[in-house]
Amino acid sequence: MIIVKRKPLEEILEMTKDFKKLLILGCDGCASIIQVGGERQARILKLLLEMGQKIKGNGKLKAQAISILRQCDRQIATSSLDPIIAEYDAVVSLSCGVGVQTIADLYKGKLIIPAINTHFLGMHDTKAEKFYEMCLACGDCLLFETGGVCPLTRCAKSLLNGPCGGQASGKCEVGGWQNDCAWVLIYNRLKARNQLDLFGKFRMPRDYRVSGHPRELGGEKENEEGKT
C-alpha cells in the first residue's frame, strides 16, 4: 500500500487561499484504507478549509467533498470528474503523488493542490498503529534470496551484502539502535529455513539503471491489450 499522511492544515490553507470554489477530492484506494484520504477525510477537510479561510478573513469558500474509486486510474477519474470539474476553480487532492499527477495530467488547465504527503510503499501494523516501509520498487526484486525481507528498503544503507558493523543485538545504528537490522532479520529467516547458503552468497553491484528516474514500463503492445 502507498503510505500517505495529510499535510499540516496551515499549509493547505495557504495553498488554497486564493480560490472560492474548491473540489476536495478523496481517493478510495490506499489513502482511504489507511484513513487519510477517503471520503470521510475529504468531508472533514472541506469543513476545516471553509472554517479556516473564514477565520483568516479570506472570504467565503465554497467547497464540495467527494471521493472516487482511484485517482491513479485515468478511466475512473475521467468518468467521475468530466461531468463536474468545470464548476471548480481548483481541486484539492487527497491521494498520493500518483493520483495528484494523474488528475493534473487529465485536466491540464486546472490547478491540482496536493493535501497529502506521499511517504512510502509500506505495511500497516494494526497493533502499534504504525506504518513500515517495505519496498523501494527497485525493479529487480531479490526477496527470494533474502528470506522475504527487503535489504534495499529495510537496511538503512541498502546493503546487498550486510550486515554492516553498525548492528548491535540485532538493531541498526541508524535511529539509535531502535529499529531491527534488516540483515539480522534476513539471517534469522534464512537460518530457520536452513538456507544460510543464500545468506552467504555474494551479491554483485546493482545496476542502478533499473531504478533510475523516470521509469516507464511496457509500450503500445501492452496498451493494445487493454491497459491504457
Partner 1 sequence: MRREAHSKLMKQINEGNFVFTGELEPVKTTKLDEVIEGARILKDHVVAINITDNPTAFGYMNALVPSYMIQREAGVEAVYQMTTRDRNRLGLISDVLAAGALGIKNILALTGDHTTVGDTPQAKPVFDLDSATFVYMLRKMMDEGVDLNNNQIEDPPKFSIGIAAAPNADPLEPELLKIKRKVDLGIDFIQTQCVYSAEQAQNFLEAASFLKTPILIGIAPFKSISMMDWMIKFVPGIKVPKEIEEILRKAKKIGGKQAVYEANVEIFGEMLKEIRKTTTAAGIHTMAIGFEWIVPKIIERAGL
Residues 8-47 interacting with partner 1 (rule: CB under 8 A): none
CB atoms within 10 A of CB 185: 20
Region 127-156 residues binding partner 1, contact defined as CB under 8 A = 156
Query: What are residue 64's DSSP bridge partners?
Result: 23
Rounded Cα gap, residues 31 and 39, in angstroms: 10
Query: Could you tell which of ligand SF4, partner 1, none binds residue 152, using a CB distance below 5 to 8 A set by kind?
Result: ligand SF4
CB of 27 to ligand SF4, least distance (A): 23
Block residue for cell numbers 534488516:
182
Binders of ligand SF4 in range 165-194 (CB under 6 A)? 166-167, 172-174, 181-183
Residue 9's alpha-carbon distances to 49, 52, 96, 118, 195, in angstroms, are 8, 9, 17, 16, 50
Residue whose grid cell is 519496498: 135
Exactly one of 138, 188, 195, 206 binds ligand SF4 (CB under 6 A); which one? 138
Residue 143 contact, options partner 1, ligand SF4, none, Cβ 5-8 Å cut-off depending on partner type: ligand SF4
Out of 44, 48, 104, 136, name the contact with ligand SF4 by CB under 6 A. 136
50: left (phi over 0), alpha (psi -120 to 50) or beta: alpha
88 lies in the binding site for partner 1 (CB under 8 A)? no
In the set 2, 103, 113, 184, which binds partner 1 (CB under 8 A)? 184
